[in-house]
Amino acid sequence: MNMNRQYTAPVTTAILVVNTLVFLLIAFQSNAEQSRLIDLFGLSVDGFFQQKHFWQPLTSMFMHQHPIHFFVNMLALWSIGTPIEITVGRARFTWLYFISGFAGAALMLLFPPAINAAGIGASGAISGLVGALAVFYPRATLLLFFVLPMPAWLLAVLFGGSSLFAYKQDFIPFMGHMAHFGGLVGGVAYSFLALGLKVGGSHLVESPYAA
């Protein structure tokens, strides 16, 4: 098999490109227009339930305003999404990504942040990729905060636990901690129930991105 074809991830690339284009579009708007776009397309309890903006769970997944938020999410998307897409294939990866994102959005609507501002970002969907990586490659080494190495399964457990703790303690009250937790749970659940792949199974596609 052609190695270049084997190790390509077109869905991951497409999602990254769309996020980049939307980020640049927002960046070149005035502050007032940025606020209007975030209120309209970001995810909020008022926007979804009161104003009937039912597109928000989808559109909010592709919006970033601050460069650090954007770059961290896109780095995580590329580094984690690539081996997962290679493992499960394009169609299943697409379902995994959006189910995780919608699961995160659902929990954020049910358990909104203390400061109920519109939430934006791909973090919920990417959290689902973290959960999937813990299922498919539990012993893969990841760097916590880009410094501390740990296995994927432990990172997923710590990430989920810290998200719940942060929500209960109102830590960074504007952050969608439950979106992170919901995305993580959605990714793990889809990986187990829909894909039916065993944890650490030897039949998984080998990936140069997973240790």
Q: Are 111 and 166 in contact (CB under 8 A)?
A: no
Q: Where are the beta strands (DSSP E) in 95-144?
A: 141-144
Task: Report the 10 Å Cβ neighbour count for 89.
Answer: 13
Under DSSP, the state recorded for 106 is H
Residues with catalytic function: 123, 180
Half-sphere exposure of 151 (CA within 13 A, CB side): 10
Q: Where are the beta strands (DSSP E) in 4-89?
A: none
State the DSSP H helix or E strand holding residue 194, giving kind and residue range, or none if neither.
Answer: none
Largest CA distance in the chain: 53
Q: Are 101 and 92 in contact (CB under 8 A)?
A: no
Q: What is the 3-state secondary structure (H, E, C) of 39-56?
A: HHHCECHHHHHHCCCCCH
In the chain, % helix, strand, coil (3-state, to 5) comes to: 65, 5, 30
Task: Report the 10 Å Cβ neighbour count for 161.
Answer: 11
